[in-house]
Amino acid sequence: MARCLVTGATGYIGGRLVPELLAAGHDVRCMVRSAGRLRDLPWAGHVEVAEADAHDADRTAAALRGIDVAYYLIHTMGGGKGFEEADRTAAVGFARAAEAAGVRRIVYLGGLTPGTGGELSPHMSSRSEVGEIFLRSGVPAVVLRAAMIIGSGSASFEMLRYLTERLPMMTTPRWVRSRTQPIAVRDVLRYLVAWAGIPDEVDRAFDIGGPDVLTYAEMIQHHASVAGLPTRVIIPVPVLSPGLSSHWVGLVTPVPANIARPLVESLRNPAVCREHDIAAHVPDPPEGLIGFRQAVSLALQRIREADVATRWSSASTPGAPSDPLPTDPDWAGGSLYIDRRSMPVDAAPEALWRVIEGIGGENGWYSLPVAWRIRGALDRMAGGVGLRRGRRDPRRLRVGDSIDFWRVEEIEPGRLLRLRAEMRLPGLAWLELSQAEEDGRTVYHQRAVFHPRGLLGHLYWWLSSPFHRLIFGRMPRNVAAAAARQGAKSRPRRGPHDRRARERA
């Protein structure tokens, strides 16, 4: 069995690869920027954790010590200027550190590109370059080149799903006619795990794809059919550039424009496998690779059962703040605006906690839904994530989960939920919801904290204070009412026998 390092373990693929490697009997070390992001994952107690950024040479070298197979699952999505140089620098440093540490193999998941012709998008070009860096390094490397990955929670799949479900008729740009070879996430994971046990002399790239070659328009129609929806009316138009298309996708789907853009740009060119040589090393399963319709069916089943292990939003949002909540003593005398609210609740602590842990997504924010939607729309207009990310699970949360334009920074089950804002703000913001028993009563506590950046940050707080008072002022009352309803539902109903017993007593 191999000793494996998984980078990007908080991301969509990495978070699913780790338990698969463990199930196959491998030892796993996860390289993450913050160990706390792994704390609540079901497999966290079975892995080693190394805190390191791929741009930190010393920490990366330490993370790679004693490793046989290193999985490189890092790629900038939605990055701003200079992301190509950042990707290049990180890959070169990782390859050098892996060689110095005596790593037997690097495994990289890249993108499927046309063999000749067609100008690559900046993101696809960067992914191709990273693959070449590993293939030219002193460590044997396997580069798996995949097109669209179909699975519950993937950005590509959510983009497809929401476009299909929300638009019975759509005008679409030319890229819907590009041919692509999608692959089920289960097959991607099967390939990745297999390379932990294959001899070291293999050093090359492989195209990987499912059995179907389809246009995006055909995928929309197949998705509609599997989901039991009527045939969609698709009217191609030649005028929507990738930039305009990404904003259109951002309006219709939960995927924000800055992440939708590289996905859309990757669809401009055909993405069809030119070979299937990987089968000589990782044979196809007896039942064959998973087809597109089956992959969609499996993904929709996971979504219906609220069994989505990871989502595209599991990874940190580019440009989002990562600073922890400042403690009050450290900020004494500084600029830290705080809005505190409390309210007694006519319900058991368990009922109140169910409301707190279930906040956001389809359950909403218990205060002026229209105002929250407007705030989300403004954030998306400013290039932020808005409210449409929703939740990974409708009932349970863990550190690192995204909830609309918040991310779970801390959760103490039954007591505290702290959310860090990932909306576009001139400062840093947190929302803290907690519950406690005081003098025999259940009490709900709420605290909003804002640390401004510069004069604009102060102006933002003062100008938005009336809005905050309205929003945050209503939340405690509505949360308390929801908790009381939860408590009433959980109390057993009394029947006529209970009534007669009380009368006899």
Q: Answer whether residue 313 shows pLDDT above 70.
A: no
Give Cα separations from 352 to 367, 472, 487 (angstroms): 16, 17, 8
Q: What is the mean pLDDT of residues 439-449?
A: 93
321 pLDDT band (50/70/90 cuts)? very low
Over pLDDT 70: what percentage of the chain? 86
360 conformational bin, left if phi > 0, alpha if psi -120 to 50, beta if neither: left
Considering the domain architecture, whether residues 276 and 222 belong to the same structural domain is answered as yes
Q: From CA 479, how far away is CA 365, in angstroms rounded?
A: 9
Considering the domain architecture, whether residues 307 and 409 belong to the same structural domain is answered as no
Out of 68-77, 91-100, 481-490, pick the least confident. 481-490
Considering the domain architecture, whether residues 287 and 350 belong to the same structural domain is answered as no
SS3 assignment for 66-111: CCCEEEECCCCCCCCCCHHHHHHHHHHHHHHHHHHHCCCEEEEEEE
Structure confidence at residue 237 (pLDDT): 76
Condensed to tens digits (0 to 9), the pLDDT of residues 114-125 reads 765 557 778 888
Place of tokens 């059995």: 211
Considering the domain architecture, whether residues 293 and 341 belong to the same structural domain is answered as no
Q: Is residue 480 part of a domain?
A: yes
**Nearest alpha-carbon partner for 227 in 309, 166, 313, 138:** 166
Phi–psi pair at 66, nearest 5 degrees:
80, 10
Condensed to tens digits (0 to 9), the pLDDT of residues 207-247 reads 999 999 999 899 999 999 999 999 999 887 776 566 666 66
Read off the CATH number of the domain in which 8 is found: 3.40.50.720
Q: Is residue 500 part of a domain?
A: no
Structure confidence at residue 115 (pLDDT): 64
Q: Answer whether residue 423 shows pLDDT above 80.
A: yes
505 pLDDT band (50/70/90 cuts)? very low
Could you give the number of structural domains in the chain? 2
Considering the domain architecture, whether residues 426 and 300 belong to the same structural domain is answered as no
Q: Answer whether residue 309 shows pLDDT above 90.
A: no
Out of 11-25, 68-82, 183-197, pick the least confident. 68-82
Considering the domain architecture, whether residues 234 and 336 belong to the same structural domain is answered as no
Q: From CA 407, how far away is CA 398, in angstroms rounded?
A: 10
Q: Is residue 56 part of a domain?
A: yes
Residue after which a domain boundary falls, among 314, 338, 360: 314
Residue after which a domain boundary falls, among 257, 286, 314: 314
Structure confidence at residue 133 (pLDDT): 95
Condensed to tens digits (0 to 9), the pLDDT of residues 253-265 reads 777 666 777 777 7
Q: Which residue has the higher pLDDT, 504 or 404?
A: 404
Considering the domain architecture, whether residues 196 and 343 belong to the same structural domain is answered as no
- Mean pLDDT for the chain overall: 85
Q: Is residue 501 part of a domain?
A: no
Structure confidence at residue 312 (pLDDT): 60
Q: What is the mean pLDDT of residues 269-279?
A: 92
- Which residues is 452 bridged to in the sheet? 427
Determine the 3-state secondary structure of 34 from DSSP.
coil
Q: Is residue 323 part of a domain?
A: no
Q: From CA 248, how far away is CA 175, in angstroms rounded?
A: 14
Q: From CA 408, how far away is CA 311, in angstroms rounded?
A: 14
Q: Is residue 499 part of a domain?
A: no
Predicted TM-score of the model (pTM):
0.77
Read off the CATH number of the domain in which 420 is found: 3.30.530.20
Q: Answer whether residue 86 shows pLDDT above 80.
A: yes
Q: Is residue 233 part of a domain?
A: yes
Structure confidence at residue 11 (pLDDT): 87
Structure confidence at residue 98 (pLDDT): 95
Structure confidence at residue 468 (pLDDT): 87
Q: Are strands 179-180 and 141-146 parallel, antiparallel or unpaired?
A: unpaired
Determine the 3-state secondary structure of 43 from DSSP.
coil
Domain boundaries, position 234: 3-314
Considering the domain architecture, whether residues 397 and 296 belong to the same structural domain is answered as no
209, containing H or E segment? none
Q: Is residue 498 part of a domain?
A: no
**Nearest alpha-carbon partner for 180 in 211, 156, 214:** 214
Q: From CA 476, how far away is CA 383, in angstroms rounded?
A: 30
Q: What is the mean pLDDT of residues 300-320?
A: 67
Considering the domain architecture, whether residues 381 and 277 belong to the same structural domain is answered as no
Considering the domain architecture, whether residues 75 and 190 belong to the same structural domain is answered as yes
152 pLDDT band (50/70/90 cuts)? confident
Out of 24-38, 295-309, 327-341, 459-473, pick the least confident. 327-341
322 pLDDT band (50/70/90 cuts)? very low
Which residue type is seen at 335? S
- Dihedral of the alpha carbons of 98, 102, 103, 105, in degrees to the nearest 10: 100
Which residue type is seen at 260? A
Give Cα separations from 201 to 103, 204, 281, 357 (angstroms): 13, 10, 12, 50
Token pair for 330: 């450290």
Considering the domain architecture, whether residues 96 and 169 belong to the same structural domain is answered as yes
Residue after which a domain boundary falls, among 314, 344, 375: 314
Structure confidence at residue 169 (pLDDT): 85
Out of 271-280, 317-326, 335-344, 442-451, pick the least confident. 317-326
Considering the domain architecture, whether residues 310 and 338 belong to the same structural domain is answered as no
Q: Answer whether residue 172 shows pLDDT above 60.
A: yes
